[in-house]
Amino acid sequence: MNVKIGTAPDSWGVWFPQNEKQTPWERCMNEMAESGYEGIELGPWGYLPNQYEQLREQLEKRNLKLTATTLVGDLMSDEKTDEMITLLDEMANLQLRFPTAKYVVLIDDCYTDLFTGELIRPEVLNDEQWAQFIGNINRIKNHAKAKYGLQVVFHPHAQSHIETEEQIERLLNDTDIDLCLDTGHHAYADGDPVAFMRKHYARIPYLHIKSCDLKVREQMQKEGWSFAKAVSEDVMCEPELGVVDMEAFFKVLQEVNFNGWAIVEQDMYPAPFDKPFPIAKRTKEYLDKITKTVEVS
């Protein structure tokens, strides 16, 4: 097992390229490094520096490696998929200059409005919609591979068209795309990330690590909260605190000899500026501890 622990701007409450509720990028990067992480995702395009010389300088002086870029959009829409491919082209011109950044994390837009909870797309796709959805995923995956040699990994996400284990299994069956398994979102949708990782590890080269507080999810469902409201109430929580058996998960990583990045990506928007850093340090210390425990056992 060779698990490299990284983090992402999402763990600092960053959802947008620019937003007054978000930590300034310099502070975010400083705290990422001070927390002891090895690598980072780029996050929303335009939040961290996206000019090569500046980004290289900022990463090098903090001893951080770039691991991936992120692509989020409405995969039901051919037009929106075209826009995502255009953005992928722009990001790839930067990404290819960082040899450690081999992945593009692909996420489907939520079918609810993040802030109102209103249903804005069909929650369940019919066969025709599913075929279009799969076709657009393949367009992005094939474009990234053929033109740039980058690997697109699909990230199942709460309140999107790939969230339950049944939907993920269907995606795996109908495509050859690999996954970015997110332990927190998997648990949110009543999945078992430990058993799922053991079953599908050959299709999971890249991980997002966090947990889920099912008591908050229960309150969310009872009171009709939006996903953003639930996030502000810490529905996604530290790996040590939620429903995911993180020690068992890391034991599976050892069993399957996982060799890759595990990125701490704890949804936290909006986050008071002094909230993320202590959580990031605690999380890194906790993951280091269980990694060593698993390796010794």
pLDDT digits (tens, 9 = 90+) for 114-162: 999 999 999 999 999 999 999 999 999 999 999 999 999 999 999 999 9
From residue 167, alpha-carbon distances to 8, 69, 160, 171, 186 in Å are 26, 24, 10, 6, 11
Query: Are 197 and 249 in contact, with CB atoms under 8 Å apart?
Result: yes
Query: Are 260 and 39 in contact, with CB atoms under 8 Å apart?
Result: no
What average pLDDT does this structure show over 173-193? 98
> Residue 128, CB half-sphere, CA atoms under 13 Å: how many?
1
On the question of pLDDT at 200 being above 80, the answer is yes
**3-state class of 138 per DSSP?**
helix
> For residue range 201-241, what is the model confidence (pLDDT) as tens digits?
999 999 999 999 999 999 999 999 999 999 999 999 999 99
> What is the predicted pLDDT for the residue at 224?
97
For residue 17, give the DSSP letter.
S
> What is the predicted pLDDT for the residue at 114?
96
Rounded to the nearest integer, the mean pLDDT of the chain is: 97
Phi and psi at residue 237, to the nearest 5° = -135, 180
Query: Are 243 and 217 in contact, with CB atoms under 8 Å apart?
Result: no
On the question of pLDDT at 297 being above 80, the answer is no
> What is the predicted pLDDT for the residue at 295?
82
> What is the predicted pLDDT for the residue at 205?
98
Query: Are 188 and 208 in contact, with CB atoms under 8 Å apart?
Result: no
> What is the predicted pLDDT for the residue at 184?
98
From residue 161, alpha-carbon distances to 129, 178, 197 in Å are 11, 16, 20
Sorted by sequence, the CB contacts under 8 Å of residue 18 that are 6+ apart come out as 46, 47
CA 171 to CA 125: how far, in whole Å?
A: 13
CA 209 to CA 3: how far, in whole Å?
A: 12
**3-state class of 292 per DSSP?**
helix
> What is the predicted pLDDT for the residue at 294?
87
Helices of type H across 35-126: 52-60, 78-95
CA 149 to CA 146: how far, in whole Å?
A: 6
> What is the predicted pLDDT for the residue at 296?
73
What residues make up the domain containing 276?
2-296
> For residue range 58-111, what is the model confidence (pLDDT) as tens digits?
999 999 999 999 999 999 999 999 999 999 999 999 999 999 999 999 999 999
CA 6 to CA 267: how far, in whole Å?
A: 15
CATH number of the domain within which 84 lies:
3.20.20.150
**Based on the structure, what is the number of domains in the chain?**
1
**3-state class of 243 per DSSP?**
coil
- DSSP, residue by residue, 159-227: TSSS-SHHHHHHHHHH---EEEEEHHHHHHTT--HHHHHHHHGGG--EEEE-EE-HHHHHHHHHHT--H
Distance between first and last Cα of the chain: 13
Residues facing residue 207 across a β-bridge:
181, 262
